Amino acid sequence: MKIEIVYFSGTGNTWWMVQKLRSFLEEKGDEVEIVPYESNERENYPTKNSQLFGVAFPVYEGGSPINMEEYAYKLKARKGLKCFVLTTYWIHNQPAPTDYAHLLKKRGMEPILTAGIKMPMNVNLSIFPVSKKSTSTKKQKIAKIKEEALTCIEEIAMALHNGKKAGVDKTGFFQNIWYQGSRWAHYQILNKKGIKWISKRLKVSENCIKCGKCVEECPVQNIVMTDKGIEFKNRCIVCARCWNFCPQKAIYIKDIPLGQYMGIDEGYKPLKNRK
């Protein structure tokens, strides 16, 4: 079976998930292509040869990143094409994958599976208790989460290979209340207020050497290099690339203490080819 996956990751968790998923599926004889959202090639997917199309992204306060939500509406959808949605999350997963699957369904595609994989914290804020633990404790916790994630990914690969439908429909009174509440929080707290609040507080310290790496890393061209140095626009989606990959640790958010990123990467190197 020909499977194509477009994924988005601010750091490395989602990248790691789709890499492992591809390995499990290829072991079963499937042909799998994974395409970063950050690559211009995403516009060509799904191709006419695709038999199953997947989208993967990190959860942002119960929902999908803004650019991924826009991608669903711009997607070159194929009516009747079977699709699936996978997410990585730290605190909670719903309603992100199910909500996204409904967006794809509106485009005429047929969702067969939605699932989320719990991963290490993807936003490196030292205000979280886990950030204050010792390095050895954090490594042990990451190793445990990684082991559990691999088991889940293998089960997802088996379900996709067999065409098993799972997790697509929202059912139950309490589940629906949770879904609606999380969706409201995602829109009101994160999209309308949270991202704007953070975007206005992005700063660059005197440690900046104007290397331009943050400009290359930004998937939405929110960062520009001027004669005066780095400047931020108002298009931030809080993907965390700029401050996670700044070699001088010069980028910070005013009033928010940033800690060291603790996700899984295993050699993850973000693309420079953006649009």
At 73-120, the pLDDT tens digits run: 889 888 999 999 999 987 766 678 888 898 899 899 999 999 999 887
- For 56: left if phi > 0, alpha if psi spans -120 to 50, otherwise beta; the answer is beta
Could you give all domains of the chain from N- to C-terminal order, each with its CATH number?
2-176 (3.40.50.360), 201-257 (3.30.70.20)
Q: Comparing C-alpha atoms, which of 114, 113, 66 is closest to residue 87?
A: 114
Residue 196 has pLDDT above 80, yes or no: no
Which burial class, exposed, middle or buried, applies to 244 when counting CB atoms under 10 A from its CB (0-12, 13-18, 19+)?
buried
36-78 tens-digit pLDDT: 887 888 889 999 999 999 999 988 766 788 788 889 988 988 8
pLDDT band at 241 (very low <50, low <70, confident <90, very high): confident
For residue 228, the tally of other CB atoms under 10 A from its CB is 7
Beta bridge partners of 85: 55, 114
Its pTM stands at 0.80
